[in-house]
Amino acid sequence: MINFDELLADIGEFGAYQKWMAVLCCIPGIVAAFVFVGFVFIGERPPFWCRGPGVETFVEKCGWTLEEEKKYTVPTGSNAACFRYDVEWNQTDLECAAWESRVSNVSAIDLVPVAPCGGEWVYDWNRTSLATEFNLVCTDSWKLEWTQSSLSVGYLIGAVLTGYVADRYGRKFCFLISTFGLAVSSVIVSFLPNYILLQFFRILQGFFAKGVWMASNVLVAEIVGANYRRIVGIMAQILFTVGIIILPGIAYIIPSWKMLNLAISLPTFILLLYYWFLPESPRWLLMCKKNKEAIRIAKIIAKHNGRPFPTTCEEVDTDESDPENRHTPSVLDVFKTAQLKKYSLILMYSWFSCVVVYQGLVMRLGIIGRNLYFDFFLSGLMELPSAFIILVTVDRVGRRPPFAFFSVLAGLACLITAFIPESLSWLKTSISIIGRLAITTVFEILYLINTEIFPTPLRNLGISICSSLCDIGGIVAPLLLYRLAAIWVELPLILYAVFALLNGGLILLLPETRGIDLPETLEDLEALERKQHTKTEKAIPNLVHLTCNWEETKNLHF
């Protein structure tokens, strides 16, 4: 079998062709950001109040302004916007002046019973959203929250199924079919007549978005050299952050949620043009014994990189076995050996803990801010430095040390923030921002490790299964935040600290993947494990030797 990493050394590990492919494969990160966080704007819930039955006629009779209508017909107090005064506004003996006087008398108005709205919801807003479209407020407010959760359900399903499709039928096929599905389902969301259909198509959005994101990232990781994978990983994250940064500007100038959804969905169709530019992964083709096609693509890479194609590869036996007879990877294969099981479980926990901490810190910043559009823009800017941190660390010191360091930093930031008094709000916010930056850095390194740890036949499926815990965490994160905050407002931060600190320790049980060739088989992965153990075994005697020498030196002096 051709060793693709050795072939890349001849034809170019990150030449002009791979740079062009990296740009193409990272652009979908902008679309992924729109899908993932677009709900913040299309699902925004504005201030609202209830206009009870018959109120409009009485208001017209009294000649009240809108502000006076709210003052005289909407109850006051906690959650008052969900209720109305239980009054027959059409009764002939109800006088305007008498009612105004009664409302002004606190003791008198407290005796007026209230009832659930049962009328019309009025929104103090010059924009529209899913909340205003389907009246997702008060007793139906959970439906708005579930609209975002349904997207995570789609991510969860897509994590397994699209991973299987990519490993069975190819990265390019998975990318294109997922792109088409995402574009169509996203556009349809703008024209749905009821809530049930909305949930169905939100699940489809999540399903196809997962396929687009993972297939594009795996494909580009498989056509560049080991030393350049972190560059394309950083590029993907930067473009995802770019999507987060530009989204609030788009949302600010488009007041209609339907038009906003179309504005961020229609560009997805442009990605279908990749059919004519995007190659299949040569690494996947070789794994499938499709050597002729793999060599054809490798020659294209060599040509664009200005490198000669090695003649030895021309002589390779290209007899191709029937792809129907080859082993199709399954979920069980990801846990086939004790080694794979350990790696998979650690990575699954890492994905879960990272998203719980990340979303929790994001939601806290959102609660503090008053201007949604500016706060969202600022939160995106906070993520950019993480890319440069990775750029100067992962190739110098490896993947594990910065992962562990920033996990611990995120945990300590959460722990410290929890005990800073509210009177020092500026310090509380600053430490929280440090935690946000740290956990974002961990997220980016995690995806890099996840891509490098699994052998080629299981790579896409392994990433899918492990990152599926990210989607479960996305469902759980809001529940943890609000349930625990009801007990003590800082309690969620304590839990986030535990998650992050444990994550920083567990990652040290994984092998270091800096500068290694992507494992092609389980044997390659086992060889990597043995290599790590050998380094550890050599390091321990050296450490003991140094300790003994120090003890001898100490005894001589004392």
Q: Which of 295, 134, 127, 283 is nearest to 220 (CA)?
A: 283
Higher pLDDT, 539 or 111: 111
pLDDT at 195: 92
Q: pLDDT of 261-292, one tens digit each?
A: 999 999 999 999 999 988 898 888 888 888 88
pLDDT value for 218: 85
Q: CA angle, corner 296, sides to 292 and 302, nearest 5?
A: 140
pLDDT of residue 314: 58
Cα gap 159→359, rounded to integer Å: 19
pLDDT (0 to 100) of residue 525: 65
94 or 393: which leads in pLDDT: 393
Q: What average pLDDT score do residues 547-553 get? A: 47
pLDDT tens digits, 302-317: 888 888 877 766 544 4
Could you give the domains of the chain? 1-44+133-324 (1.20.1250.20), 48-124 (no CATH), 326-520 (1.20.1250.20)
With bands split at pLDDT 50, 70 and 90, how would you rate the model's confidence at 492? confident
Residue type, 538: K
pLDDT score for 227? 76
- Strand bridging mode 83-85 / 114-116: antiparallel
Rounded CA-CA distance 393/441 in Å is 11
| Secondary structure (DSSP) of 271-289 | GGGGGGTPPPPHHHHHHTT
Burial class (CB in 10 A: 0-12, 13-18, 19+), 98: exposed
Q: What mean pLDDT do residues 360-389 have?
A: 74
What average pLDDT does this structure show over 190-219? 91
Hey, which of 97-106, 379-388, 457-466, 507-516 has the most confident mean pLDDT? 379-388
Which range in 196-210, 295-309, 441-455 is most confidently predicted, on average pLDDT? Answer: 196-210
- Residue 521 — very low, low, confident or very high, per pLDDT cuts 50/70/90? low
Helix H or strand E encompassing 368: helix 338-368
CA 444 to chain centre: 11
Q: How far apart are CA 207 and CA 158, in angstroms?
A: 4
Residue range 140-156: mean pLDDT, rounded: 84
Report d(CA 462, CA 329) in Å as an integer.
10
Question: How much is the pLDDT for 206?
Answer: 92
Question: 216-264: per-residue pLDDT in tens?
Answer: 988 888 888 877 877 887 888 889 889 989 999 999 999 999 999 999 9
**pTM listed for this prediction:** 0.79
Q: Among 381, 391, 444, 398, which residue's Cα sits nearest to residue 237?
A: 444
pLDDT (average), residues 149-177: 87
pLDDT at residue number 317: 45
Query: What pLDDT was estimated at residue 522?
Result: 66
146: three-class secondary structure by DSSP: helix
pLDDT of residue 28: 92
Contact 447, 386 (CB under 8 A): no
Query: Which residues lie below 8 Å from residue 141, measured CB to CB, with a gap of 6+?
Result: 45
